[in-house]
Structure 1
Amino acid sequence: MNFGSLGFRVLVPLMLAGLVSAQNITSIVTSVRDPVSLNGATGIAISGDFAYVTAEYDDGITILNIADPGNPTLVGNIADPQLNGAAGIAISGDHAFVSSYFAGLTVIDIADPSNPTITSSLYNSTLLNGAFDVKVVGDYAYVSATYSHCFAVVDISDVSALRIEGWIQDQTVLTWVKGMEVVGDYAYLAAHESDRLAVINITDPRNPAVAGFVQSHLLEGAEDVVVVGNFAYVSAKRWGSTPGITVVNIADPSNLTIESAIFDSDLFCGIAGISVAGSHVYTASSCNQITVVDITTPTSPSIYSNITGYSDHRKIAIAGDLAFVTAGEDDGLAVVSINNPSNLSIASFYSDFANGFLESPEFIAVSGDYAYITGEAGSLAVFDISNPTSPRLHGVVRDAEKLDGAEGLAIAGNYAYVAANDYDGLVAVDISNPSNPTIAGFLQDDDQFDGATDVAIAGHYAFVTSYDEDRVTVVDISDPSNLTVVSFLKDNSLDGAEQIVIVGDYAYVSAYREDSLTVINIADPRNLTIAGTIKDDRLDGVRGLQIVGDYAFMACYREHGMASINIADPSNMSIAHFLRDDDHLDDARQLQVLGNYAYVSTNDHDGLAVVDISDPFNLTVVEFTESLRYFQGSRGIAIVGGHALIVAHDTDMLTVVSILTTTTTTTMVTVTATTETATTETATTETATTETATTETVMTLTTTSTKTTTETRTATWQTATATATTSATTVAAESLDISHAVQFGGWAPQACAAIFAFLNLCL
């Protein structure tokens, strides 16, 4: 069975001189970010009709209108690298003060809650590393810094110019300090690793001093603290023993004494946040419990009631007869009615998943005027990209079960087919109405699809890779509502099967754990056979894969590089070139090819690398852009005309990058290149005429070789366009306005390469 050519072969002229203009190749046009940043919801502050929630993993805060507690609504959001690891939050007037694990203290102007903006930030790697909690009193913000074992006093009288006024850094008393409370002239701090409650005299902000502390096994894993009168109530996780609340008499700060304690391994499991209202203490624990403790008699606290809430409760704030509880793993905020403390009830739950649309995006596919993006948390979003410079959300389908771990996808007709990694299945989504995508069918099998990673379509068959089952499974999709397994191929060469690309009668599969590329003959979908495999340590952790003519280009995650593989003979494949670049291809993840360039997403360096592939035997990085703002955890890439669309997993963002075309003169040259086996090959062009290649064309390299003492490589580049001209279109664009952008190349080294190629000079 021949499925036909799924990507026509187009030959492009070999362009060395003038290949890259003096301009950069890429420039950011726009970006779309999920407006709900509640991934790893942690801190919570209430002010008027608004709840302000920090998100540790989204590096931001989300502002919700809670005037109707039963129906919180999104008002505003801000996410920024200056909020990296956002944790604690305090409100004072028109400003929110946010403590972030990796960014110190940041001031956000919230005068207009629908448009919060950063006013200033303060970071000190010695004193504010691991900034966890923040309290504001008057002109001072008090910050506990976990990793610095530090308590810092910050002058905020001028919110645009923060400065540290005083501090105490003590690795014995304040070891891994976490939650705190400020009352009068004292700050009370829970020291997680030193099992202490410490009291700091803050009468003189320039010279805070330890007034006293108490250490006890009853304070093991101290997490948070609230103060009521002469008593401090400390939540203690007590790793390896029963967690609970310890009551400390603080009447004399220099002589703290433990008054009582109450423990419960079920209700206080992973206890974290603690708050107080009247004669009751309310606790939030990571094992989904919200518990009320009666403290009418501090020497004899008792459990009053509890309710099971959501996953990984972190902080709790009380306003009136409502408790607001963050849920880190469920990425949301629970509103709990405490009008009757003996009978708690959930009023509402506002979650990132239910209200967002780019939930940990993984892959992107384009069909017509629409881009389809899978969300690892369980979603498929549809964007209208008829104007690529202004993408608009068109529709979204969410299913926390069937789309759990959604990764690879393929579009065929009116359906999007999604490989769901955690669901271990294939899901067919009806996209005939892009504004209302719906699940039409699904197929789940822990064996066939265990760790499903990608899917490719040929005819009425879907080919699904299984990471954990080392196989490719063929599914009949002729009836999307009734998907059926036709056959499968399981082989060690497919260990960690990652990505699949189909061209003609062959499926090409990258295998992350096997460090290999395997070619499968799919002419008969019911009888798959392996046509060839290449395994090499340089392909360590291979993920992204693109086929261009006789070459496969692969992103090698663990080898921090990119490989070009000659696949002209699937039974005898060879590596044409491997490019390792720890600085610019670190954790290379996905790639797309346009013309003479491969665009590679890099996970660790949060960037986009541009690699010149005009000579597959000499891959060269010509540009790299690193940006936490746009590319943090960059994943899938799709190319539409003169634009690359890139999704960022960690920031729930879609970014559009311009790769506009300009016309430059093409020079046809003869090149002598050295291969990795030190065998010299001679590349010549088949024709002396130049032709027109558009950015839409796919590049193909045809190779012939004659083996003597050297090998002669003849590289022929042509075009599929009907009209020959004296110029060729190559990729170039305006400069990228990002401080961390680094450009390589330019006209000079490219021209030198053309002139002196016979000397084997490297770009």
Structure 2
Amino acid sequence: MMYPARKRIKMLLFACLLPLLSTLAAPATASPDQPVGPHLVVERAIGGFMSDIAVFGTYALLVEGAAVNVIDLHDPAHPARVASLLMPTRSGKLAVAEKLAAVSLAKGKIQIIDITNPTAPRLRGHYILPAPYNRDYRISGGIADIALDGSLAYLLVGVASAGYAHGGLLLIVSLENPDQPTLIGEAGVSGLPNDLQVRAGIAYVGSTSDLRGTGGLEIFDVTNPRAPANISLVKGYGYDGESIEVADGIAYVGDTGIYDVHQLSAPREIAPLTARTLRVHRGRGYAIEPDGMLIRTLDLADPAKPRQIAETRFRAEDEPVLMPGRDQHSLRIVGDQLFVTSRDNLSIFRLVGNAGKLVLLGRLNGGLIDAVVSDGSLAYAGGDYIWLPTGSGHDLSLAEEFAGERTPQLLGVTGRYAYLASHGQLLVADLANPTAGPLGRLVLPADPDPPWWPTFLNKIALEDEMLYLYLPYSTSATPDAGQLVIIDGHDPHQPRIVSQIVREGMDDWSGVVFAAGFVYVRQTTRGATVFDVRNPAAPTIDAQPFWQGISVATLASDGRHLFVYETGSLTVIDIQNPARPTVLATISVEGWRLTAHGGRIYAGGSEALTVIAISNPAAPQIIARTPLP
């Protein structure tokens, strides 16, 4: 387990970017009481973190959320996706050797990929860590890093179990048979492992100090892969070992130091190193700043005296960052090109001359799309997983860059149109031609203080081409207010604001549903508020919602009933008469993300998707529960 404050920040960022559930039509063959859970499969992923890249020849493998995409680099100015493999969970680290690649997945799994034909990659075998080491360690799962050397895969594994004496493991897996990867060797690692390099039978590990103060630089002899042996350990402290790079007998350990490792049994620190992510090429070091804005070029002719000789800004200072944060960058140098993934884009630079200058060749934008929706199918999008019914056949990809709009967030779909948010604007896309660019756009009333765009713009209800959108609205006079903005979307080319209403004490809205002329807005700690929108031009507020004071976690509606999830239970409320809502039933269920359609409730949690039959709303019944992989 990492440092609590740091983990809380990551969890908060992740929670803010968690996908929404969307209400869609059910498959025609499904009946209300037919268990559908076991038939759900992962079909398509959209968007996600660009967490790692591995270059081979004129192609690269790029991790984007749950997908591993093949990028054609023949023209570096115009990198293009040419193939894609969908993984069952969010992907993490990548490594490539000859005709094979390995990618880490959640739950301690690595997937082997055959890249003999780059434009038609094939899945081969996989390896799963034994319990208890297959628990999630970080976003990429239990595996912190992967290195491939010939037919061997080296895995760095984070171990949170007290049953092992070290903070991590170095596992060596044979890929002699790519269809059946086999564990052949292991060794304990001090600290919480982060990065790994394998050179000439030596494995160099960078790790973060754990609570015992262990971690830093650790060196292993792996010439006998069945019996890897520890050679030496140099302890570090703090956020140490975020990256490791070994060149010409010198080891550069991110946020720790520069070490002379000519004598492997006695590494010697020769200089401190504050950069957390550093790559070395021909006597130059390239370090990315934690904010993801700058790359600094260092002269390493004398490793004991590194000095900055240039810096390159690859994001404008005022350019919004969809997924801000630290240590979510990957740097790779191949030939005279530098590849940088920075959460929501891939940038390709050329290394120019001895002055350390970088010239931007091309960029590939990605981004996180917050919901997966389409006519004729049910979609569950939660955390690391995207589930669709088998054979739905819908291509839900909305475009790589959406015609120049950086990292749009999908809000929802009604009919043939998708509504997206992109830095203070509402964009309307035609699902029949999603790459053609926005049909229409609307500048939305920005939150005066602060402008939370676009991360928190994910609260929307759609009904008959009308959009009911939540926006925060914080001012000095109303520090915890929110606003409901009603938008007429009948003309997709010219969406227009019909009205807006501000409500104090609503800064933490996190769910919006429409039902029979009323909008129900969930609050994290204050229950919910009801808006009468039967006259969209003059909405009013029900000042005393009947469940006021209840901590409502999620809302969903089928038009006649409201489904309220809170702390392990689902309550069914009859709202056919909004003035006299009636509680019909309560059922125990785990799954805080809800969608309702076709006589069912789909409740998605971190462990499973639960299907609840509501053909009799007074007696809801769990009919299926599908564990997530």
User: Aligned pair 1:215/2:235, yes or no?
Assistant: yes
Aligned-CA RMSD value: 4.0
Which residue does the alignment assign to 1:350?
364
Which residue does the alignment assign to 2:394?
391
Which residue does the alignment assign to 2:352?
339
Task: Choose the corresponding residue for 1:483, options 485, 496, 499.
Answer: 496
Q: 1:258 to 1:372 in 2, by over 3 A?
A: same
Q: Deviations over 1:311-350 (max 9, x none)?
A: 76622222211111222x22x3221101325221111112
User: Aligned pair 1:540/2:540, yes or no?
Assistant: no
Unaligned runs of 5+ in 1: 1-18, 239-245, 354-358, 377-384, 629-763
Superposed displacement of residue 525, structure 1: 3.4
Q: 1:321 to 1:620 in 2, by over 3 A?
A: same
Q: TM-score, normalised by structure 2?
A: 0.75
Q: 1:388 to 1:466 in 2, by over 3 A?
A: farther
Which residue does the alignment assign to 1:86?
92
CA distance in 1, matches of 2:226, 2:391: 54
CA distance in 2, matches of 1:402, 1:333: 12
Match of 1:33, SS state, is coil
Task: Choose the corresponding residue for 2:62, options 45, 50, 53.
Answer: 53
CA distance in 2, matches of 1:394, 1:198: 43
Superposed displacement of residue 296, structure 1: 1.8
Read off the aligned partner of 1:320 and give its amino acid letter: G
CA distance in 2, matches of 1:108, 1:440: 41
CA distance in 1, matches of 2:362, 2:380: 27
Which residue does the alignment assign to 1:442?
442
User: Aligned pair 1:180/2:196, yes or no?
Assistant: yes
Q: Equivalences for 1:227-246 in 2 at 5 Å?
A: 227-236=246-255, 246=257
Task: Check whether the contact 2:498–2:537 (CA below 8 A) recurs between aligned residues.
Answer: no
Q: Equivalences for 1:483-562 in 2 at 5 Å?
A: 483-486=496-499, 488=501, 490=503, 496=509, 498-503=511-516, 506-513=517-524, 514-516=526-528, 518=530, 520=532, 522-523=534-535, 525-526=537-538, 528=540, 530=542, 533-535=545-547, 540-548=552-560, 552-556=561-565, 558-562=566-570
Q: Equivalences for 1:711-750 in 2 at 5 Å?
A: none
CA distance in 1, matches of 2:186, 2:71: 34
Q: 1:135 to 1:403 in 2, by over 3 A?
A: closer
Higher mean C-alpha deviation, range 477-486 or range 297-306: 477-486
Higher mean C-alpha deviation, range 450-459 or range 300-309: 450-459
CA distance in 2, matches of 1:322, 1:403: 25
Q: How many residues align?
A: 547
Match of 1:281, SS state, is strand
CA distance in 2, matches of 1:72, 1:403: 17
Match of 2:579, SS state, is helix
Which residue does the alignment assign to 2:205?
189
Superposed displacement of residue 426, structure 1: 5.2
Task: Check whether the contact 2:486–2:499 (CA below 8 A) recurs between aligned residues.
Answer: yes
Task: Choose the corresponding residue for 1:573, options 571, 578, 581.
Answer: 581
Q: Deviations over 1:513-564 (max 9, x none)?
A: 332463626348336353963206777213222223xxx13142x4344322
Match of 1:290, SS state, is strand
Q: Deviations over 1:430-464 (max 9, x none)?
A: 789877462434142235998652244579x7544
User: Aligned pair 1:66/2:69, yes or no?
Assistant: no
Superposed displacement of residue 128, structure 1: 6.7
CA distance in 1, matches of 2:412, 2:429: 13
Superposed displacement of residue 79, structure 1: 2.7
Which residue does the alignment assign to 2:21?
none
Unaligned runs of 5+ in 2: 1-30, 136-141, 160-166, 316-320, 322-326, 383-388, 474-480
Q: 1:278 to 1:418 in 2, by over 3 A?
A: closer
Task: Choose the corresponding residue for 2:224, options 204, 213, 220.
Answer: 204
Read off the aligned partner of 1:444 and give its amino acid letter: L
Superposed displacement of residue 119, structure 1: 1.8
Q: Deviations over 1:93-120 (max 9, x none)?
A: 3211234463243322222223323322
Read off the aligned partner of 1:75 and give its amino acid letter: V
Task: Choose the corresponding residue for 1:135, options 147, 154, 165.
Answer: 147
Q: Deviations over 1:379-422 (max 9, x none)?
A: xxxxxx9x9943246975838879855425556xx9x58485x8
CA distance in 1, matches of 2:262, 2:569: 62
- Bigger radius of gyration: 1
Task: Check whether the contact 1:325–1:334 (CA below 8 A) recurs between aligned residues.
Answer: yes
Superposed displacement of residue 295, structure 1: 1.8
Match of 2:587, SS state, is strand
Which residue does the alignment assign to 1:41?
50
Read off the aligned partner of 1:43 and give its amino acid letter: D
CA distance in 2, matches of 1:79, 1:454: 28
Read off the aligned partner of 2:267 and give its amino acid letter: L
Q: 1:280 to 1:371 in 2, by over 3 A?
A: same
Which residue does the alignment assign to 1:316?
331
Read off the aligned partner of 2:340 and give its amino acid letter: V
Identity of aligned residues (%): 15
Superposed displacement of residue 186, structure 1: 2.1
Superposed displacement of residue 90, structure 1: 2.4
CA distance in 1, matches of 2:98, 2:429: 47
Q: 1:45 to 1:553 in 2, by over 3 A?
A: same
Which residue does the alignment assign to 1:616?
617
CA distance in 1, matches of 2:571, 2:168: 46
Which residue does the alignment assign to 2:477?
none
Task: Choose the corresponding residue for 2:601, options 595, 599, 602.
Answer: 599
Task: Check whether the contact 1:395–1:436 (CA below 8 A) recurs between aligned residues.
Answer: no
Which residue does the alignment assign to 1:144?
156
Read off the aligned partner of 1:109 and give its amino acid letter: D
Task: Choose the corresponding residue for 2:178, options 146, 159, 164.
Answer: 159
CA distance in 1, matches of 2:41, 2:577: 42
Task: Check whether the contact 2:349–2:359 (CA below 8 A) recurs between aligned residues.
Answer: yes
Task: Check whether the contact 1:260–1:300 (CA below 8 A) recurs between aligned residues.
Answer: yes
User: Aligned pair 1:302/2:307, yes or no?
Assistant: yes
Superposed displacement of residue 46, structure 1: 1.9
Q: TM-score, normalised by structure 1?
A: 0.63
Read off the aligned partner of 1:292 and give its amino acid letter: T
Match of 2:226, SS state, is coil
Superposed displacement of residue 577, structure 1: 1.0
Task: Check whether the contact 1:290–1:307 (CA below 8 A) recurs between aligned residues.
Answer: yes
Higher relative CO (Cα under 8 Å, sequence separation at least 6) belongs to 1
Which residue does the alignment assign to 1:282?
286
Read off the aligned partner of 1:520 and give its amino acid letter: D
CA distance in 2, matches of 1:618, 1:372: 23
CA distance in 2, matches of 1:228, 1:402: 37
